[in-house]
């Protein structure tokens, strides 16, 4: 216990180790926060959800905070509806069961880039007579543009850019830029815009509601991908998955390696020989090819890959190093004493041999974590990621397969990549410092 | 050294006996070593074959594919449409059976595994199932030989550069350890936790996508230049990014390791002794530091030569480099067992051969080492 505390105080003398520790604590905190706020099932539902979950988001939108760094301001996305009362709605009853529903929403548009798209989602209830709406847009220079008028079904989606009539009326191919600039001008007109929807219902209980979605050029904290998914979800969920994979793999590998090396060194004879031979055979096996085969043929589940990774990483060169040290420790006096009082072999292995190696184990364990974290990401990048889980590697793969680097969607790759980098470097730096503390031979040189 | 004095004739006898015993010892050692290495390779390859076959699961996939393809071909062909259903069904079955036999799917999996094994061990690599070389051949040997130059070019340039530059820099760092550059390398050595393909993505982003001065990937621009010089320049241009990412990702840890290694050896007593004798620094380095580290350096170098063979699977995939690593990945995707096994057996043989050879190299460079003791 005392030595542990000592090591910890020593650790704090290394600035890099403090940085590494901070990163690790931060990651653990984020992982805990993520798993509490977005439960696993919810995360899977959202990640695998399609248009019905993510219709409010634009596609390929960088995060909103790039506006702080860019001289050009990109339009931000928003979604408002009559249900949350952000859209003003006034119902005036008229003659013979009819009613006029006036809905309006005013928004400030002061950006240098046009939005991607505007959509109205209408919901209405009626028995036979469909409600009727007409849409107008009031621009900052006090023009009133009549957008469309039509009868509604129970659910109806109106997309501005898909309206042929509107295109013809505005004499343009792209509706949105035409709406957001002065006639014959190529730059967006800044100021307050207002959408005005006037609806008429023809039945006493008929209702009319709507949602107004504007797909801007930027979105939220992390941006969106090709399927409109908010990238904060996989970025956040990537943390617990990366940590779990890295920690379980490195702990499983190093602890099992150590136990097997101890058993071999203690019993000697054919047990030792067998372990040596297995290690040599494992050296011949193509590690990556086997993992890829398992991913391709059997299952891409992260847990299967994890198990295979551990199995293939146990019998490596490390086992020989541990064995050599165990052979030395085996001859120590205290082992002799333990034998003299009649300790059983398992007792000697687990209570006397292995605890001696913990100072050696801890640094190598921490140092091997980044390799496993990156292994998971690497497999995901070549398309063998878990099909269900949202991970950092999956984001990079999606970005790669959608040509993010060619098309300039840098945020898409940079966000998961920098998280991977920070995680990897955090553990690597910490492991390095631990190595110098626990193996003081290295510290002198 | 024996203390007992011998007469000359006795001396000769002893020497002869010694030589014989040395010969026997070395011979026995070689025999045992070769046999264990061979058994290791055999078991390793057999395991690979079994996993690659997934205990017959791949057979199911391939049978399904054959059934699908044959049935589709019959449906698509108008000349079979007039045929009676029964006759056509029989014909389809016959064709499927024929195709399965052609691919060797009707022999039991265990027998086929052993056939694969013996073919692999005799380097009879056979024909690929689905992949073809760019020249159109299905010979596994030709497919591998075709991709080999690309891998050798990429891995060779990067790994050799890495090896020599890190030894050279490590030596100079160990000479003045504790100075700024030494601390710089120590501080940056954790960056090697990041794999090469990852640096590759950043490099593509900067140099291909943003600055547009280097290509995104591939090995030669399309269409390939006719002129040999232009062709070489184009390949060189494509080589820069993957090469640099392979070097960057292991440069600092490699320098750090060699540096620490040299420092440990330079703190030996005999080095202090040499310094006390006033030998020039260069001589000390050459005879007292480099010489005893030679076995390790040779080991590293020979293992490096083997990794040239395997290629860099992920880096090649990210850069679309047509090397062996990417070929192996593609082969797995196409369930192309002969290529997977071919690539593995060559690696296994190379490894076994190198391990075997290294034992003798150690004896040559380090007189303290004796074989079979």
Tell me if B343 is assigned to some domain: no
Q: State which residues of chain A have pLDDT below 70.
A: 1-2, 440-445
Interface of B with A in 223-242 (CB under 8 A): none
- The alpha-carbon gap from A340 to the nearest alpha carbon of chain B, in Å, equals 32
Which residue is it, tokens 């070019």? B153
Q: Report the pLDDT value the prediction gives residue A93, as an integer from 0 to 100.
A: 87
Are residues A156 and A82 part of one domain? yes
pLDDT at B4 over 70: no
Tell me if A60 is assigned to some domain: no
- The alpha-carbon gap from A293 to the nearest alpha carbon of chain B, in Å, equals 6
Tell me if A438 is assigned to some domain: yes
ipTM of the assembly? Answer: 0.83
What is the Cα–Cα distance from B152 to B305, expressed in whole angstroms?
10
DSSP string, B70-115: HHHHHHH-GGGTTS-HHHHHHHHHHHHHHHHHHTTTTS-HHHHHHH
pTM of the model: 0.86
Going by pLDDT thresholds of 50, 70 and 90, the confidence category of residue B3 is: very low
Residue of chain B with shortest Cα separation from A278: B40
List of chain A residues whose C-beta atoms are within 8 Å of the C-beta of residue B313: 288-289, 292, 382
Q: How far is CA A305 from CA A54, A290, A396, B56, in A?
A: 30, 10, 19, 20
Q: Report the pLDDT value the prediction gives residue B55, as an integer from 0 to 100.
A: 63
Going by pLDDT thresholds of 50, 70 and 90, the confidence category of residue B255 is: very high
Tell me if B110 is assigned to some domain: yes
B44 to chain A, any CB pair closer than 8 A? The answer is yes
Task: Residue A40: give its domain's CATH number.
Answer: 1.10.3720
Are residues A238 and A210 part of one domain? no
List of chain A residues whose C-beta atoms are within 8 Å of the C-beta of residue B324: none
Q: Report the pLDDT value the prediction gives residue B2, as an integer from 0 to 100.
A: 41
Q: Report the pLDDT value the prediction gives residue B247, as an integer from 0 to 100.
A: 94
Mean pLDDT of B151-164: 93
pLDDT digits (tens, 9 = 90+) for B322-365: 988 888 888 888 878 888 888 888 888 888 888 888 888 888 88
b (16+ CB within 10 A) / e for B244-260: bbbbbbbbbbbbbbbbb
Instruction: For residue B69, give its domain range.
Output: 8-121
B34 to chain A, any CB pair closer than 8 A? The answer is no
Instruction: Judge: B195–A289 Cβ closer than 8 Å, yes or no.
Output: no
pLDDT digits (tens, 9 = 90+) for B198-224: 999 999 999 998 888 999 888 888 888
Q: Report the pLDDT value the prediction gives residue A375, as an integer from 0 to 100.
A: 93
Instruction: Judge: B204–A405 Cβ closer than 8 Å, yes or no.
Output: yes
Residue length of chain A:
445
Domain end call among A215, A243, A262: A215
Instruction: Judge: B198–A297 Cβ closer than 8 Å, yes or no.
Output: no
* Between A139 and B52, residue with greater pLDDT: A139
Count of structural domains within chain B: 2
Are residues A432 and A291 part of one domain? yes
Q: Which residue from B201, B310, B348 is facing A413, i.e. has the nearest CB?
A: B201
Are residues B191 and B298 part of one domain? yes
Are residues A185 and A85 part of one domain? yes
Instruction: Judge: B317–A417 Cβ closer than 8 Å, yes or no.
Output: no
Residue A10 has a CB neighbour count (10 Å cut-off) of 17
Q: Report the pLDDT value the prediction gives residue B290, as an integer from 0 to 100.
A: 83
Count of structural domains within chain A: 2
Q: How far is CA A346 from CA A262, A338, A342, A350, A379, in A?
A: 10, 12, 12, 6, 38
Q: Which residue from A289, A410, A417 is facing B198, i.e. has the nearest CB?
A: A417
Are residues A168 and A98 part of one domain? yes
Are residues A160 and A256 part of one domain? no
Are residues B151 and B117 part of one domain? no
Are residues A405 and A347 part of one domain? yes
Instruction: For residue A179, give its domain range.
Output: 74-215
- The alpha-carbon gap from B77 to the nearest alpha carbon of chain A, in Å, equals 32
Tell me if B133 is assigned to some domain: no
Instruction: Judge: B328–A382 Cβ closer than 8 Å, yes or no.
Output: no
Are residues B216 and B111 part of one domain? no
- Average predicted confidence (pLDDT) for chain B: 84
Q: Report the pLDDT value the prediction gives residue B11, as an integer from 0 to 100.
A: 67
Tell me if A124 is assigned to some domain: yes
Handedness of CA A35, A36, A38, A44 (dihedral sign): positive
What is the Cα–Cα distance from B348 to A289, expressed in whole angstroms?
13
Q: Report the pLDDT value the prediction gives residue B283, as an integer from 0 to 100.
A: 85
Which residue is it, tokens 């019959």? B74
Tell me if A140 is assigned to some domain: yes
Are residues A156 and A11 part of one domain? no
B209 to chain A, any CB pair closer than 8 A? The answer is yes
Are residues A334 and A262 part of one domain? yes
Q: In the numeric block, which tokens belong to residue A111?
A: 């950006």
Tell me if A347 is assigned to some domain: yes
Q: Residue B69 pairs with which residues in a beta bridge?
A: none
A interface mutation test: which of B190, B252, B310 has the most A CBs within 10 A?
A: B190
Q: Which residue from A298, A370, A413 is facing B193, i.e. has the nearest CB?
A: A370
Instruction: Judge: B177–A413 Cβ closer than 8 Å, yes or no.
Output: no
Q: In the numeric block, which tokens belong to residue A314?
A: 């146990």
Cβ-Cβ contacts under 8 Å for A137 (sequence gap 6 or more): A144, A145, A147, A179, A193, A194, A195, A196
Instruction: Judge: B198–A421 Cβ closer than 8 Å, yes or no.
Output: yes
Strands (E), chain B: none
What is the Cα–Cα distance from A260 to A278, expressed in whole angstroms?
11
Q: Report the pLDDT value the prediction gives residue B1, as an integer from 0 to 100.
A: 37
Instruction: Judge: B348–A445 Cβ closer than 8 Å, yes or no.
Output: no
Are residues A252 and A204 part of one domain? no
Residue of chain A with shortest Cα separation from B56: A297
């Amino acid at each position: 216990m005392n030595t542990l505390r000592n090591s910890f105080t020593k650790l704090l003398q290394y600035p890099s180790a403090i940085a590494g520790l901070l990163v690790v604590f931060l990651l653990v905190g984020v992982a805990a926060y993520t798993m509490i706020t977005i439960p696993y099932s919810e995360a899977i539902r959202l990640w695998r959800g399609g248009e019905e979950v993510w219709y409010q988001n634009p596609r390929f939108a960088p995060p909103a905070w790039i506006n702080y760094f860019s001289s050009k301001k990109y339009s931000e996305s928003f979604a408002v509806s009559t249900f949350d009362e952000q859209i003003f709605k006034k119902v005036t009853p008229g003659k013979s069961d009819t009613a006029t529903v006036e809905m309006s929403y005013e928004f400030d548009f002061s950006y240098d880039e046009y939005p991607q798209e505007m959509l109205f989602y209408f919901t209405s209830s009626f028995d036979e007579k469909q409600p009727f709406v007409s849409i107008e847009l009031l621009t900052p220079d006090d023009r009133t543009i009549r957008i469309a008028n039509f009868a509604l079904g129970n659910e109806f989606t109106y997309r501005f850019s898909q309206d042929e009539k509107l295109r013809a009326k505005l004499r343009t191919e792209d509706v949105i830029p035409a709406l957001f600039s002065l006639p014959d001008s190529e730059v967006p007109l800044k100021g307050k815009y207002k959408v005005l929807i006037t609806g008429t219902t023809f039945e006493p209980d008929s209702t009319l509601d709507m949602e107004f979605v504007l797909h801007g050029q930027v979105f939220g904290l992390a941006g969106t991908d090709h399927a409109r998914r908010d990238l904060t979800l996989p970025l956040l969920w990537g943390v617990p998955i990366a940590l779990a994979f890295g920690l379980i793999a490195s702990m499983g590998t190093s602890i099992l390696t150590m136990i097997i090396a101890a058993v071999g060194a203690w019993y000697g004879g054919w047990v030792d020989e067998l372990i040596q031979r297995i290690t040599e055979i494992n050296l011949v096996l193509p590690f990556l090819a086997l993992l890829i085969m398992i991913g391709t043929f059997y299952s891409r589940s992260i847990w299967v890959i994890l198990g295979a990774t551990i199995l293939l990483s146990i019998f490596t060169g490390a086992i020989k190093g541990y064995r050599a040290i165990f052979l030395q420790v085996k001859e120590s006096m205290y082992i002799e004493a333990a034998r003299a009082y009649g300790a059983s072999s398992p007792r000697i292995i687990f209570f006397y041999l292995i605890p001696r190696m913990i100072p050696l184990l801890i640094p190598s364990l921490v140092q091997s974590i980044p390799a496993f974290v990156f292994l998971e990401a690497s497999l995901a990048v070549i398309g063998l990621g878990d099909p269900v889980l949202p991970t950092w590697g999956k984001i990079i793969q999606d970005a790669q397969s959608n040509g993010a680097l060619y098309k300039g969607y840098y945020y898409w790759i940079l966000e998961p990549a920098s998280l991977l980098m920070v995680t990897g470097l955090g553990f690597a730096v910490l492991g390095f410092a631990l190595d110098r503390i626990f193996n003081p031979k290295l510290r002198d040189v | 050294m024996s203390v007992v004095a011998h007469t000359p004739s006795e001396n000769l006898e002893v020497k002869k006996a010694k030589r014989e015993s040395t010969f026997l010892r070395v011979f026995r050692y070689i025999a045992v070593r070769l046999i264990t290495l061979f058994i290791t390779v055999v078991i390793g390859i057999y395991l690979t074959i079994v996993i690659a076959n997934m205990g017959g699961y791949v057979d199911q996939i391939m049978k399904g594919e054959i059934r699908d393809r044959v049935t589709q071909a019959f449906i698509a062909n108008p000349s079979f449409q007039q045929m009676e259903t029964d006759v056509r069904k029989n014909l389809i079955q016959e064709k499927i059976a024929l195709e399965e036999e052609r691919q060797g799917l009707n022999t039991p999996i265990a027998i086929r595994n052993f056939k694969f094994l013996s073919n692999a061990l005799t380097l009879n690599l056979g024909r690929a199932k689905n992949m073809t070389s760019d020249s159109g051949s299905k010979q596994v040997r030709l497919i591998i030989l075709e991709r080999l130059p690309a891998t050798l070019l990429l891995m060779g340039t990067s790994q050799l550069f890495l090896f020599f530059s890190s030894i050279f820099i490590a030596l100079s760092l160990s000479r003045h350890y504790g100075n700024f550059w030494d601390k710089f390398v120590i501080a940056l050595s954790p960056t090697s936790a990041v794999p090469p393909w990852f640096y590759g993505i950043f490099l593509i982003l900067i140099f291909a996508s943003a600055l547009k001065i280097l290509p995104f990937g591939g090995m030669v621009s399309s269409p390939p230049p006719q002129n040999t010089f232009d062709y070489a320049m184009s390949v060189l241009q494509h080589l820069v990014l993957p090469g640099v990412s392979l070097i960057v990702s292991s440069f600092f840890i490699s320098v750090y390791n060699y540096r620490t290694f040299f420092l440990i050896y330079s703190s030996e007593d005999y080095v202090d002794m040499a310094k006390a004798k006033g030998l020039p620094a260069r001589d000390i380095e050459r005879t007292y530091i480099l010489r005893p580290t030679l076995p390790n350096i040779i080991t590293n170098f020979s293992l490096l030569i083997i990794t040239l063979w395997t290629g860099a699977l992920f880096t090649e995939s990210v850069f679309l480099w047509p090397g062996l690593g990417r070929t192996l990945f593609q082969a797995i995707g196409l369930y192309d067992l002969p290529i997977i096994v071919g690539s593995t057996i060559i690696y296994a043989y190379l490894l076994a051969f190198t391990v075997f050879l290294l034992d003798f190299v150690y004896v040559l460079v380090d007189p303290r080492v004796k074989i079979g003791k």
